Amino acid sequence: GAVVSQHPSWVICKSGTSVKIECRSLDFQATTMFWYRQFPKQSLMLMATSNEGSKATYEQGVEKDKFLINHASLTLSTLTVTSAHPEDSSFYICSARVAGDNSPLHFGNGTRLTVT
């Protein structure tokens, strides 16, 4: 149980275009999902917390107008990288938690974004 599916697994786009990444909780409902970013040889960095039906909470230094997050249902959150630039190339990973404050987060398999 507790499967998180992320799509696409990889994407290549041209500079200036936008890319949407989907994160789905397949067998549970997630009122809260989290978006992380990981650059090569670095650890995961939390970008934002996505709450179903309300605005996302962004970490310091993450531009909310560039990284649009929508959490319209209890099983789906989307991250849209707008006007992507080569420096946005990274590994984007979402996670979700089964109900309960002490429950562990379960992660998707990530999306490799390459902006050319």
Partner 1 sequence: DAKTTQPTSMDCAEGRAANLPCNHSTISGNEYVYWYRQIHSQGPQYIIHGLKNNETNEMASLIITEDRKSSTLILPHATLRDTAVYYCIVRAPGGTLTFGKGTMLLVSP
By CB under 8 A, tell whether 93 contacts partner 1. Answer: yes
Residues with Cβ within 8 Å of 44's Cβ and at least 6 positions away in sequence, in order, are 36, 37, 38, 93
By CB under 8 A, tell whether 46 contacts partner 1. Answer: yes
Decide: residue 105, CB within 10 A, 0-12 exposed, 13-18 middle, 19+ buried. Answer: middle
By CB under 8 A, tell whether 25 contacts partner 1. Answer: no
Looking at beta carbons only, is 3 or 72 nearer to partner 1? 3
By CB under 8 A, tell whether 75 contacts partner 1. Answer: no
| Rounded Cα gap, residues 97 and 101, in angstroms | 8
From 6, 50, 77, 78, residue interacting with partner 1 (rule: CB under 8 A): 6
From 106, 113, 114, 116, residue interacting with partner 1 (rule: CB under 8 A): 106
Calculate the CA dihedral of residues 80, 30, 53, 46 and round it to 10 degrees. Answer: -50
Task: Determine the 3-state secondary structure of 86 from DSSP.
Answer: helix
From 49, 51, 70, 89, residue interacting with partner 1 (rule: CB under 8 A): 49
Q: Give the interface with partner 1 as residue ranges (CB under 8 A).
A: 2, 4, 6, 34, 36, 43-46, 49, 91, 93, 95, 101-102, 104-110, 112
